Amino acid sequence: MTEEKPTLRQIFEAEEGPLLRFACGMLRQRETAEDIVQEAFLRLHGHWDEVNNARAWLYRTVRNLALNHLRDHKRETLTDEPPEWDAAGGSGSPLERLEAAGAVRLLLAELDDGDRRLIHLKYHQDLKYEQISKETGLSVGNVGYKLHHLLKGMADSLRRMGIESAEG
């Protein structure tokens, strides 16, 4: 039994807000973020029959469009940089850190819902393995095993993308 592909309208209704927040986080300019998200949906419409995972495709497209915009407008975006950059820590330029954050979001978007939920419970809700076990029905050991392998896989993917972790 195959899952029915959602309509473009359903994808738009479900993903427009999160994509806009994603783009705003990268660009720090709402109007530009809105333009980029709109462009991504227009491109999705043109490739609709070829795209299997519309959510991941949209995040990748928004990320690439935002990075292109940042590169093309480097002078104006870096001078408008908010003061929190220094407090955020990490090495590399602000553009490199934005690219790394975008890559992590892209990898998260490509995970299946169950794996993405595990990461959300652990790192967004700050739950302990025991609490996650109760939420998901997985054993505590399985929660730890899955999270370990999810994070290891994401770290490997980031390295292949040329993005090194703070420890590496």
Tens-digit pLDDT profile for residues 105-131? 878 888 888 998 998 898 888 889 899
- Low pLDDT (below 70) residues in the chain: 1-3, 74-95, 164-168
- 27, 105, 10: which is closest to 65 by C-alpha? 27
12 to 18, 37, 55: CA distances (angstroms): 10, 10, 10
Q: What is the pLDDT of residue 92?
A: 62
Assess contact for 68 and 40: CB atoms under 8 A. Answer: no
Q: If we measure between CA atoms, which residue out of 19, 9, 90, 99 comes closest to residue 58?
A: 19
Which two tokens mark 62? Answer: 């928004």
Dist. CA 35–CA 142, nearest whole Å: 42
Span 55-64, pLDDT tens digits: 999 999 999 9
Query: 111-168: which CATH architecture?
Result: Orthogonal Bundle (1.10)
**Please, where in the chain does CATH 1.10.1740 lie?**
1-90
Task: DSSP letter for 26, please.
Answer: H
CATH architecture of the region 1-90:
Orthogonal Bundle (1.10)
pTM metric for this prediction: 0.51
Specify the domain boundaries for CATH 1.10.10.10 within the chain: 111-168
Q: Which of 120, 141, 121 is nearest to 131 (CA)?
A: 121
